């Protein structure tokens, strides 16, 4: 497919065959994180914080902060299209290392480990943390070396790329069949040592939310004291990407803007209200809360998170007679729109932004591979793109 380059330095491209449809767009729907707000110093850092805290602080293993998972590693996870949910991404990163650690124990040590921890069950955080401390004591006593694991995470057979390749094969970001030589019971223990349910307030979600929100905002949003002791709020480091002039242009061109995002509603609305930007958007936002509620109503048989387009398709039914453009910042966003098209949706375009990644060239390749109609640095490029395509400049 042929792309027209409008600005190579800004990485602005559009598909030549989509030009007419771009000019006919009447409704604009935006992802939140990475499109409206810069998350480079928030969510990415929260993932790194969580992985470090689990291994270095809770298990008490020796290692260097910021090495287990880097921003490049985070982007590699996102580029699979399976890890749009940052809770799942943090879980998968911990799962990768814990599988390698336990799978690397000597046969006699593994037998002893399973005897001590094979039947572990999560009931509450207060009781679970001392248990994890004992797991860490056991692993240290048997020579677990995080530095060695970090140094070998690029290995062909046991590296992160091998883990992500298995994840893509299974299309399951949670239970990745990594290191298949490990017994099923062992893999089950790994899973139970990272209690995580995307719809329950369990161990992993709680750890992530405290790391992301910090003490002040965790108290505000969860109405309960924090457990893990993170003071700094990464939420406060988020800044809005679109300039007021851009939002004014978009509203005059498309009317009220819409949001479809897997961010918790209370956090998204709080940020919009804090910056006095809520007036640019429809009252009916679609956030994580609505998506999860739809899953529950479907008895949890299907996950409606990206790239599954089921709830997105339901959301845009009122606009079935209008050309729509969805603006996203990840491969999962592009895949969701492609999956929606496969379900028969013909009035939808995908605009991909590159500003949220530390590897824009790689994401640019992902977007072109998935047939993005427009690729740009950030949402502020839209007025320029439209005016160029329409020949106004």
Tens-digit pLDDT profile for residues 241-291: 999 999 999 999 999 999 999 999 999 999 999 889 999 997 778 999 999
Verify that 142 and 186 share a domain, yes or no.
Answer: yes
Verify that 248 and 324 share a domain, yes or no.
Answer: yes
Verify that 60 and 199 share a domain, yes or no.
Answer: yes
Verify that 192 and 117 share a domain, yes or no.
Answer: yes
Residue 342 has pLDDT above 90, yes or no: yes
149: containing domain: 43-222
228 lies in some domain? no
227 lies in some domain? no
Residue 214 has pLDDT above 70, yes or no: yes
Q: How far apart are CA 76 and CA 363, in angstroms?
A: 10
Contact 270, 292 (CB under 8 A): no
**Banded model confidence at residue 183, pLDDT cuts 50, 70, 90:** low
170 lies in some domain? yes
Verify that 122 and 253 share a domain, yes or no.
Answer: no
Contact 116, 138 (CB under 8 A): yes
126 lies in some domain? yes
Q: Of 173, 192, 222, which residue is a domain's last?
A: 222
Would you state the pLDDT for residue 299? 67
**Domain harbouring 327, CATH code:** 3.40.50.1000
106 lies in some domain? yes
Give the number of domains in the chain: 2
353 lies in some domain? yes
| 37-49 residue pLDDT tens | 998 889 999 999 9
217 lies in some domain? yes
229 lies in some domain? no
Question: Which helix (H) or strand (E) element contains residue 257?
Answer: none
Verify that 31 and 90 share a domain, yes or no.
Answer: no
344 preceded by a cis bond (ω within 30 of 0): no
Verify that 174 and 76 share a domain, yes or no.
Answer: yes
| 146-176 residue pLDDT tens | 998 999 898 888 899 999 998 988 877 787 8
Verify that 154 and 260 share a domain, yes or no.
Answer: no
**Banded model confidence at residue 182, pLDDT cuts 50, 70, 90:** low
Residue 200 has pLDDT above 90, yes or no: no
Verify that 206 and 341 share a domain, yes or no.
Answer: no
Verify that 193 and 65 share a domain, yes or no.
Answer: yes
Verify that 301 and 177 share a domain, yes or no.
Answer: no
Verify that 359 and 275 share a domain, yes or no.
Answer: yes
Long-range residue pairs from 368-373, CB within 8 A, at least 24 positions apart, any chain = 368/1, 368/3, 368/13, 370/331, 370/334, 370/335, 370/338, 371/1, 371/15, 371/334, 371/338, 372/15, 372/334, 373/14, 373/15, 373/18, 373/21, 373/22, 373/325, 373/349
Q: Of 174, 197, 222, which residue is a domain's last?
A: 222
Q: How far apart are CA 191 and CA 169, in angstroms?
A: 19
Q: Of 222, 255, 285, which residue is a domain's last?
A: 222
**Banded model confidence at residue 111, pLDDT cuts 50, 70, 90:** very high
Rg for the chain, CA atoms, rounded: 22
Would you state the pLDDT for residue 301? 66
Contact 53, 228 (CB under 8 A): yes
């Amino acid at each position: 497919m042929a792309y027209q380059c409008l600005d190579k330095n800004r990485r602005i491209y559009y598909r030549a065959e989509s030009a007419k449809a771009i000019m006919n767009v009447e409704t604009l729907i935006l992802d939140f994180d990475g499109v409206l707000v810069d998350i480079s110093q928030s969510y990415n850092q929260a993932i790194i914080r969580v992985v470090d805290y689990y291994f270095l602080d809770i298990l008490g293993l020796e290692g260097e902060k910021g090495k287990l998972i880097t921003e490049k590693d985070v982007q590699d996870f996102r580029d699979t299209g399976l890890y749009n949910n940052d809770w799942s991404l943090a879980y998968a990163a911990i799962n990768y290392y814990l599988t390698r650690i336990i799978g690397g124990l000597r046969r006699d040590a593994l037998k002893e480990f399973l005897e001590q921890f094979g039947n572990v069950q999560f009931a509450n955080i207060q009781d679970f943390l001392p248990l994890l401390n004992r797991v860490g004591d056991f692993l240290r006593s048997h020579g677990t070396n995080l530095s060695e694991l970090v140094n070998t995470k690029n290995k062909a057979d046991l590296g992160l790329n091998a883990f992500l390749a298995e994840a893509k094969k299974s299309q399951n970001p949670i239970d990745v069949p990594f290191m298949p030589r490990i017994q099923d019971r062992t893999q089950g223990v790994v899973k139970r040592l990272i209690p995580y349910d995307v719809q329950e307030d369990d161990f992993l979600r709680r750890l992530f939310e405290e790391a992301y929100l910090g003490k002040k905002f965790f108290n505000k949003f969860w109405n309960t004291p924090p457990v893990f002791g993170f003071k700094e709020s990464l939420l406060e480091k988020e800044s809005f990407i679109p300039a007021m002039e851009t939002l004014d242009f978009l509203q005059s061109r498309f009317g009220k803007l819409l949001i479809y995002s897997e961010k918790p509603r209370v956090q998204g609305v709080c940020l919009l209200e804090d910056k006095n930007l809520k007036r640019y958007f429809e009252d009916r936002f679609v956030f994580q809360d609505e998506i999860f509620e739809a899953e529950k109503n479907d008895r949890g048989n299907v996950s409606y998170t990206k790239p599954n387009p089921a709830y997105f398709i339901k959301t845009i039914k009122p606009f079935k007679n209008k050309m729509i453009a969805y603006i996203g910042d990840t491969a999962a966003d592009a895949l969701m729109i492609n999956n929606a098209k496969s379900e028969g949706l013909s009035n939808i375009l995908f605009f991909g932004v590159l500003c949220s990644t530390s590897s824009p060239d790689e994401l640019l390749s992902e977007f072109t591979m998935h047939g993005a109609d427009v690729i740009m640095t950030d949402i502020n490029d839209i007025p320029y793109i439209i005016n160029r395509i329409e020949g106004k400049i």
